[in-house]
Structure 1
Amino acid sequence: MNTQLLVTILSLCFGIVCSQKKEDEIIRKKVLVTKTASSPKIDGILDDAEWQNAPVATNFIERNPNNGKPQEDSIKTEVRILYDDTGIYFGAQMYDPTPQKIAKELTERDGINNDDFFGVTLNGYNDKQQSLEFVVTAAGVQFDAKITTDGEDSTWNSIWYSGAKINDKGWAVEMKIPYSELRFPDSNVQEWGMNMFRRIQRIKASYDWNFVDNQKNSYTLFDGILQGIENINPPTRLSFTPYFSTYINNFDGKTTSSFNGGMDVKYGINDAFTFDMTLIPDFGQANFDNSILNLTPFEQQFSEQRTFFTEGTELFSKGGMFYSRRVGGEPTVYPATSEKEEVLEYPSKVKLFNAFKISGRTKKGLGIGFFNGVTQKMEATILNAETGEKRKEVVEPWTNYSVLVFDQRFNGNSSVSLVNTNVTRDGNFRDANATGILWDINNKKNTYKTFGSLKGSWVMNGETQFGTRGEAGIEKIAGKHRFSLNGNVTTQDWNINDLGFSTRTNFANYNAWYGYRILQPTEKFNNIYMNFNLNYFHRLEPFLYSNLLFNNNNSFTDKKFRVFGGGIEFTPFGQNDIYEPRTSGRHLKVPAYFDTWIWFESDSRKKLQYNFTIDYYAYNETGRNQVFTNLGLRYRFSDKFNIYWSFNPSFSNNETGFAGKNDTDIFIGRRQRNTYENALTSKYTFNEKMALSLAFRHYFSDVTYKQFYTLNQDGSLADTHNFTNNLNGTYNAWNVDLRFSWWFAPGSQLTLLYRNATSNYLETSRLNVKNNYDMLFNEPMVNNLSLKLTYFLDYNRMKNWIKKKPAKN
């Protein structure tokens, strides 16, 4: 029945998509650039002679809020473009009758907050599939990203040059983008897709050189055309980024130190593909994880903090099958010990030996990505308390991780992808493989699309465990009225957790979604978004109704740029939770609930900005409810200094959850849970290259069990006196990072970091604040001071350094 439904949905998808008419005509502006014999100085002052005869691109068109409105002359934008044998140059004058009101908050690189900015997107293959984005704020801060039909990947970083200055006409930008940072075919005559855009923050208006229809879902479809670049010889794309780091650690009265060195290598294999490698990587300065007291049946998922794994990963994220935190994560085995043995040392992380990735896209739209990483063998130390003898046991062998992706794009905004992940461990440890075929096919008008996937997973651990996951759907992606119909099925043995992240299995879900949006301003609002969702879940084997869920979300932006909204959600028939019992074939009945929430965010242009959320669940059970709240305050003292504080208390009253089990019974506990999270971030930015930042978080959660039950076969609960374990607990996590960053040269950075951290878990609850803090600060604290230097070396510049001087006559 499930297979037939998926086939029906898939057939409907292709039928609707293939029945559409030909693509609407998109007008593409053109600009013809000229070559310059000498390069202008990149300082944000447009007084260089080279700019005087350069062609001018102007007549920008508003994208938001008044889509399609020509830019007014008083705030017009004029851009001059040049090229030489090393790169392409942009000189932009942004007119503004009130230069003193230009928003120019200083941030670190890749940060855009309360800023006016100017940017360029370049597509060397002119295929409307992917562009490289380069942005400069009025404060001179750089931002860069990759843009594809899937969205914007801001983790991509490039080496380019820019300058920005406020002047009596408004403000100006100069940019040089070297050819080594771009991708384009090996051809004597180039024709690139290009767009340019501008943001005026005080009126929250966005403008583009080539008109962008905000009712469509892809920015890359609306490129203009850049012509005139001829007979250029791109340089070799080869760079080295060596690093040196030193650490001083103090923990529990012991002080240790270390010195490390390694290098990243980047090489342009050809015009389309790039090789990246990290040798002896050092991730000691990665941001801390926001750990929580996790009472769910599922592992907590953390975001990736390591630079190598966050940059240029848009291909590897296809299908959600690669979770990079598995590479260099926790060991997969905990040693078995006898009654006389104890584990003295157990590695919390596996060391990454090296990793590399190759990625790019051909001129015919085929994207290819290959990742490979190797982690070292890790051992635990075990002590025999009776004999004093110590032994070593391997808890993670030498392991190879690989990901292979093929992504073929066509028809402007469609793709079919193949993704394979593989984990091979040395010896008798488990191996794993997963493969998926994905499709995302738009009609010619880019108003409808069909999407889906077929995936399989294999886990080899003595015997092979094979699982599958499939999805199919259709979606209307343009206009005021949008909708989506889709379904997915996941079998019991689906498991990609050796290199991916998966939680729920053995279920089917069918979803219907309708969205309504107003993107042109009305009398009271700049935009309005509404959507309605209906989800039905059931267990696959044996069949069991799981949940029917409806929700509605609404968002409004008013004329004062305040953003607010809310919604409702309810499950009219309650839920059969098939995961909470932690036992296959069993389920826990959860009563029906009604959830409602509201949220508000004040005008972000103001010095003081605040936001809040209140989310309340009322269950169809006496005394059972949940409350989630959030309060955020940000104050901008100046363009250099700001501070943000957030407070997130939540309370869950009379919830039920897994408590334990024995050979015959599963025990469920009724509990009260209170959680408080305080976070403070602050940043002082000295200039566009130097900043001091503070990140603080204290997380506190306690749980108190009131009563225990035995789980019946039908999911109901029966009173029990057979379970008397103390499960009350309090978890604290305390983290402080104080970081000084200096981008002293393009691609080169010096970082000084002080870190203070501790955590504890207490087998008691409902402590008062003073006692809780006293017990937390009695725990050993990590105090860490580290200094890391990375330096960017470009092969072409290095060649000039080592050239022999000509012999004297």
Structure 2
Amino acid sequence: MLKCYLVTLFLFLSFSSFALETDSISRKSIEIPRISEAPKIDGVLDDIAWQNAPIATDFVERNPNNGRPIPDSLSTEVKVIYDDLGVYFGAKMKDPEPDKISKELTERDNIAADDFFFILLNGYNDRQQSMQFIVTAAGVQYDAKMTNGREDNSWDAVWYSEVKINDDGWVAEIFIPYFILRFPKKQVQEWGLNMEREVFRTRTRYSWNHVDNQKGAYSLYDGEIHGIENIKTPTRLSFQPYISAYANNYDGNTNFNFNGGLDLKYGISDAFTLDMVLIPDFGQARFDNNVLNLSAFEVQFAEQRAFFNEGTELFSKGDMFYSRRIGGRPSSSPTINEGEEIAFQPNAVELINATKVSGRTESGLGIGFFNAVTNEAFAQIRNVETGEIRTEMVEPYTNYNVTVLDQRFGDNSSFSFVNTNVSRLGNYRDANATGLYVSHTNKANTWNYSASTEGSWRFLKEETIFGTEVQAGISKISGEHRLEGRLDLRTLDYNINDLGFSTNTNYVRYMGYYGYRYLQPKGNLNNMFLNFNLNHFRRLDPDLFSNFTFNFNSSFTTKDFFSYGGGVEVTPFGTNDIYEPRVNGRHVQFPGYHDQWIWMNTDFRKKLAFEGFIDWYKFFEEGRSNIFLSLNPRYRFSNKFNLRYGLLYNPSYKEQGFVDTDGDDIIFGQRDRLTIENSIGGDYIFNNKISLNLTFRHYYSGAMYSKLYSLEQNGELTEEPERENIYDVTFNTWNLDLKFAWWFAPGSQITILYRNALDSYLQQGGQAFDENFDYLFNQPQLNSFSVRLSYFLDYNRIRNAFSNRNMNRAKPGKMTAGL
């Protein structure tokens, strides 16, 4: 059976390799001069350096009316110059109503109700990856890496900007140092460049080089910047030492911790950078949104640690690297003998250090290497009768590494190799996974063809387990009508979970997609998107029908920027679920359903804005349904202060799922489940460097079982009325973070955090609201107060400071004259 699917994949790929077309994207260019004296970055373009600078102008509307020239009333002119340290931009943006320029204050790397100016720089001019720099009219900086139109805003850099609002509009003055950019080592540079301006009150965006929304990714439409020659890039070496202090009170016990460490960045060459974290400290990372998980798979959490988020675009190739594995739960559990119980089980492993090396050669070859080492972890087991404690190792010293090779070709194509490896010291499980990926877009940027294969190896004490995944697809990526076809499969033993994240295995999926979109506003609509999807799932070995779904989605935005949409999904033939029984080779029959949903977002230009949706699953079984209701209002009191509220209400009736095993029997239960989540967020932003933030979340989920079943070999459920119900459950989690942050110098920050957290797990359901909260607040609470100071040190600034000091000492009377 597997061989048949592989042959089908080969024929599918062969079909997609037809002739390529030619491309004719119009590209603007600007020739910029070298200056001898740098301008002062103050938002006023009156320095000598700007006097004869060339001007980039004639911006073109990108959204909503793609291709329309910018009106004279919003005329935008950008001057560009360079010196031995970096590139300077001076943007004058006219506005006939300067008092209406939107300038809401936010934290760094956030944009809200803001006009902004946007720069994309691509040092390799390969139209695939750019570095993005945005400054809002409120002076807030935002930076990111953009790869083929996909944005990674975890990347943070140190650059300089100031803005000024005047009678004619506003001005942005920006300095981007070479040491944060990547470009080839050659005498004459030729970079990709595009710039944009957003006018928030009309939700209109204008770009310097026209971006055609009919086809291709945004990065394809770079213009070019010429004239940069004979630059000597400074040593790219920076340090970020930190110190932190924690006072934690839990269950009446208080302890104090003091930490210190260092992050290091070093430019190995113009193209490659080394990142290291020595003695890491992630104590102020945002809390996880924990849930009551009754499914067959673990919950995937977002990475909250800055080091693992920043600059990971290479390591995200193929989605084989899930950084939460590093420093996560131990890979094994202790052995519990008769008369023993677990006294302590670590839920995280200590990270000793981590290193990243990444960059791209002039030929377009991206190379990434990641390595991390974690410490041993031990569980404590107590003898119930004697109270004696013994320890058992549940995680040895472990080394994690990821290697990535990514060769770009053409304007928007790549071939990639990814390998992940986990090596545990001693007689513990090791793992390896390897993936090959190819994505090819034709020269006209109208069709994309993709294929990939992955293999996973798990090295156990007695055996090696191998699994594989194969995917292939073809998609039309241009025009109003879009198409996609895809085929993918995974074998039963595919498992990348030692350093990746995977769930479903042993399946083959056939997928078809058709989409229609407005490319220009029509009538009362700014845009419209419609899409239709078909998915057919089968168990791979042995072959078994699993599921067939039809899905329709819609999205509309009016001229008043009111957005709404909805859709429907149907599984007309029911589902043979091969995962819920938690035993290979077994399946359970679930009825089909129809799912319908609607959503709406009001105009976010208004002080009061609202998001909401309702989603209703109705199964083809009497009384069985599932409802999701979400309400998210927000109010902007001023440009400094805003509040947000979120409500998720999710009742599920006559839900069926796995609960236990009894010998060879697999026990299922019918349950009514209610989940309610409340969240509150608020920001008070004093200025573009100082902020106060509140984040609160309370999550409740309870399940009450009304029937218990035994799962038959044919997938049917047989009721067992005599079996005792011991499976009711109630789970609560409560988190509150209050954070004060001050960016007191470029790249340097003081953070003060108060955190309150508690949770409860009770083998009981159906509690009244007040009883539930009484039980929750009788659990041990964590109250934590922490302070963290980090300071950015640039080697070049340190060297120049010492050079200037030595020069001053060499000149008699200099200090006296200065006084």
Please indicate, yes or no, whether the TM-score normalized by the shorter chain is above 0.5.
Answer: yes
Stretch of structure 1 that moved more, 149-158 or 296-305: 149-158
Q: Per-residue deviation at 1:768?
A: 1.6
Provide the rounded CA distance (Å) in 2 between the counterparts of 1:105 and 1:417: 41
Which residue is 2:567 aligned to?
A: 567
**Kept after mapping to 1: 8 A contact 2:149/2:218:** no
Provide the rounded CA distance (Å) in 2 between the counterparts of 1:202 and 1:802: 48
Question: Which structure 2 residues correspond to residues 723-738 of structure 1 after superposition, within 5 A?
Answer: 723-738=723-738
Provide the rounded CA distance (Å) in 2 between the counterparts of 1:784 and 1:540: 50
Q: Deviations over 1:764-807 (max 9, x none)?
A: 11212111111111111100000001100001111123343443
Provide the rounded CA distance (Å) in 1 between the counterparts of 2:589 and 2:387: 51
Which residue is 1:500 aligned to?
A: 500
Provide the rounded CA distance (Å) in 2 between the counterparts of 1:55 and 1:755: 52
**Kept after mapping to 1: 8 A contact 2:537/2:546:** yes
Q: Per-residue deviation at 1:123?
A: 1.1
What amino acid does structure 1 have at the position aligned with 2:601?
A: E
Instruction: Kindly indicate whether residue 469 of structure 2 is the aligned counterpart of residue 466 of structure 1.
Output: no
Provide the rounded CA distance (Å) in 2 between the counterparts of 1:628 and 1:801: 60
**Kept after mapping to 1: 8 A contact 2:379/2:392:** yes
Which residue is 2:28 aligned to?
A: 29
Provide the rounded CA distance (Å) in 2 between the counterparts of 1:669 and 1:381: 34
**Kept after mapping to 2: 8 A contact 1:243/1:263:** yes
Instruction: Kindly indicate whether residue 390 of structure 2 is the aligned counterpart of residue 391 of structure 1.
Output: yes
Report the 3-state secondary structure (helix = DSSP H, G, I; strand = E; otherwise coil) of the residue aligned with 1:18. Answer: coil
Provide the rounded CA distance (Å) in 2 between the counterparts of 1:9 and 1:459: 26
Instruction: Kindly indicate whether residue 439 of structure 2 is the aligned counterpart of residue 440 of structure 1.
Output: yes
Which residue is 2:592 aligned to?
A: 592
Instruction: Kindly indicate whether residue 798 of structure 2 is the aligned counterpart of residue 795 of structure 1.
Output: no
Question: Which structure 2 residues correspond to residues 236-251 of structure 1 after superposition, within 5 A?
Answer: 236-251=235-250
Stretch of structure 1 that moved more, 292-301 or 343-352: 343-352
Provide the rounded CA distance (Å) in 1 between the counterparts of 2:254 and 2:102: 46
Which residue is 2:266 aligned to?
A: 267
**Kept after mapping to 1: 8 A contact 2:707/2:721:** no
Which residue is 1:407 aligned to?
A: 406
Q: Per-residue deviation at 1:14?
A: 4.7
Provide the rounded CA distance (Å) in 1 between the counterparts of 2:753 and 2:219: 39
Instruction: Kindly indicate whether residue 121 of structure 2 is the aligned counterpart of residue 118 of structure 1.
Output: no
Question: Which structure 2 residues correspond to residues 609-620 of structure 1 after superposition, within 5 A?
Answer: 609-620=609-620
Q: Deviations over 1:51-70 (max 9, x none)?
A: 12111110000111011111
Which residue is 1:807 aligned to?
A: 810
What amino acid does structure 2 have at the position aligned with 1:588?
A: V
**Kept after mapping to 1: 8 A contact 2:599/2:613:** yes
Q: Per-residue deviation at 1:10?
A: 4.5
Q: Per-residue deviation at 1:13?
A: 4.1
Report the 3-state secondary structure (helix = DSSP H, G, I; strand = E; otherwise coil) of the residue aligned with 1:505. Answer: coil
Provide the rounded CA distance (Å) in 2 between the counterparts of 1:799 and 1:756: 44
**Kept after mapping to 2: 8 A contact 1:459/1:466:** yes
Which residue is 1:423 aligned to?
A: 422
Which residue is 1:716 aligned to?
A: 716
Provide the rounded CA distance (Å) in 1 between the counterparts of 2:402 and 2:50: 47
Which residue is 1:762 aligned to?
A: 762
**Kept after mapping to 1: 8 A contact 2:657/2:668:** yes
Q: Per-residue deviation at 1:649?
A: 0.3
Provide the rounded CA distance (Å) in 2 between the counterparts of 1:415 and 1:150: 14
Q: Residues 523 and 384 (structure 1 numbering): CA distance in 2 closer, same or farther, change over 3 Å?
A: same
Q: Per-residue deviation at 1:341?
A: 2.1
Provide the rounded CA distance (Å) in 2 between the counterparts of 1:403 and 1:727: 41
Q: Deviations over 1:665-724 (max 9, x none)?
A: 211100000000001100000001110000000000110000111111111111214531
Report the 3-state secondary structure (helix = DSSP H, G, I; strand = E; otherwise coil) of the residue aligned with 2:227. Answer: strand
Q: Deviations over 1:352-405 (max 9, x none)?
A: 000000011111111111000000011112222333432221111000000000
Root mean square deviation, CA, Å: 1.2
Report the 3-state secondary structure (helix = DSSP H, G, I; strand = E; otherwise coil) of the residue aligned with 1:668. Answer: strand
Instruction: Kindly indicate whether residue 608 of structure 2 is the aligned counterpart of residue 608 of structure 1.
Output: yes
**Kept after mapping to 2: 8 A contact 1:564/1:600:** yes
Instruction: Kindly indicate whether residue 103 of structure 2 is the aligned counterpart of residue 109 of structure 1.
Output: no
What amino acid does structure 2 have at the position aligned with 1:598?
A: I
**Kept after mapping to 2: 8 A contact 1:277/1:355:** yes
**Kept after mapping to 2: 8 A contact 1:104/1:639:** yes
Provide the rounded CA distance (Å) in 1 between the counterparts of 2:3 and 2:221: 38
| Structure 1: tracts of 5 or more residues without a match | none
Which residue is 1:479 aligned to?
A: 479
Which residue is 2:817 aligned to?
A: none
Q: Per-residue deviation at 1:584?
A: 1.1
Provide the rounded CA distance (Å) in 1 between the counterparts of 2:491 and 2:731: 35
Stretch of structure 1 that moved more, 185-194 or 690-699: 185-194
Instruction: Kindly indicate whether residue 126 of structure 2 is the aligned counterpart of residue 127 of structure 1.
Output: yes
Provide the rounded CA distance (Å) in 2 between the counterparts of 1:86 and 1:35: 11
Instruction: Kindly indicate whether residue 322 of structure 2 is the aligned counterpart of residue 323 of structure 1.
Output: yes
What amino acid does structure 2 have at the position aligned with 1:481?
A: H
Provide the rounded CA distance (Å) in 1 between the counterparts of 2:625 and 2:307: 43
Provide the rounded CA distance (Å) in 2 between the counterparts of 1:15 and 1:48: 60
Provide the rounded CA distance (Å) in 2 between the counterparts of 1:187 and 1:3: 49
Q: Per-residue deviation at 1:129?
A: 1.9
Instruction: Kindly indicate whether residue 744 of structure 2 is the aligned counterpart of residue 741 of structure 1.
Output: no
Provide the rounded CA distance (Å) in 2 between the counterparts of 1:707 and 1:155: 47
Provide the rounded CA distance (Å) in 2 between the counterparts of 1:5 and 1:147: 35
Which residue is 1:18 aligned to?
A: 18
| Structure 2: tracts of 5 or more residues without a match | 813-819
**Kept after mapping to 2: 8 A contact 1:623/1:653:** yes
Which residue is 1:161 aligned to?
A: 160
Provide the rounded CA distance (Å) in 2 between the counterparts of 1:404 and 1:601: 42
Report the 3-state secondary structure (helix = DSSP H, G, I; strand = E; otherwise coil) of the residue aligned with 1:541. Answer: coil
**Kept after mapping to 2: 8 A contact 1:195/1:210:** yes
Stretch of structure 1 that moved more, 50-59 or 549-558: 50-59
Provide the rounded CA distance (Å) in 2 between the counterparts of 1:629 and 1:386: 51
Instruction: Kindly indicate whether residue 56 of structure 2 is the aligned counterpart of residue 53 of structure 1.
Output: no
**Kept after mapping to 1: 8 A contact 2:198/2:204:** yes
Q: Deviations over 1:203-253 (max 9, x none)?
A: 111111011111223111111111111221110000000010000000111
What amino acid does structure 2 have at the position aligned with 1:658?
A: F
Report the 3-state secondary structure (helix = DSSP H, G, I; strand = E; otherwise coil) of the residue aligned with 2:467. Answer: strand
Provide the rounded CA distance (Å) in 1 between the counterparts of 2:5 and 2:253: 63
Which residue is 1:624 aligned to?
A: 624
Report the 3-state secondary structure (helix = DSSP H, G, I; strand = E; otherwise coil) of the residue aligned with 2:799. Answer: helix
Q: Deviations over 1:153-200 (max 9, x none)?
A: 111111100001111110110000011111112222211111111111
Q: Residues 664 and 233 (structure 1 numbering): CA distance in 2 closer, same or farther, change over 3 Å?
A: closer
**Kept after mapping to 2: 8 A contact 1:129/1:365:** no
Provide the rounded CA distance (Å) in 2 between the counterparts of 1:129 and 1:552: 31
| TM-score, length basis structure 1 | 0.98
Which residue is 2:361 aligned to?
A: 362
Q: Deviations over 1:267-312 (max 9, x none)?
A: 0111111100000100000000000000000001100000000000
Provide the rounded CA distance (Å) in 1 between the counterparts of 2:9 and 2:504: 23
Question: Which structure 2 residues correspond to residues 151-300 of structure 1 after superposition, within 5 A?
Answer: 151-300=150-299
Q: Residues 544 and 232 (structure 1 numbering): CA distance in 2 closer, same or farther, change over 3 Å?
A: same
Question: Which structure 2 residues correspond to residues 532-551 of structure 1 after superposition, within 5 A?
Answer: 532-551=532-551
Q: Per-residue deviation at 1:26?
A: 1.1
What amino acid does structure 2 have at the position aligned with 1:126?
A: N
Report the 3-state secondary structure (helix = DSSP H, G, I; strand = E; otherwise coil) of the residue aligned with 1:229. Answer: coil
Provide the rounded CA distance (Å) in 2 between the counterparts of 1:721 and 1:12: 51
Q: Per-residue deviation at 1:342?
A: 2.3
Which residue is 1:351 aligned to?
A: 350
What amino acid does structure 1 have at the position aligned with 2:107?
A: E
Q: Per-residue deviation at 1:339?
A: 2.3
**Kept after mapping to 1: 8 A contact 2:149/2:219:** no
Q: Residues 722 and 500 (structure 1 numbering): CA distance in 2 closer, same or farther, change over 3 Å?
A: farther
Provide the rounded CA distance (Å) in 2 between the counterparts of 1:808 and 1:716: 93
Provide the rounded CA distance (Å) in 1 between the counterparts of 2:610 and 2:414: 41
Question: Which structure 2 residues correspond to residues 91-110 of structure 1 after superposition, within 5 A?
Answer: 91-110=90-109
What amino acid does structure 2 have at the position aligned with 1:725?
A: N
Provide the rounded CA distance (Å) in 2 between the counterparts of 1:409 and 1:401: 26
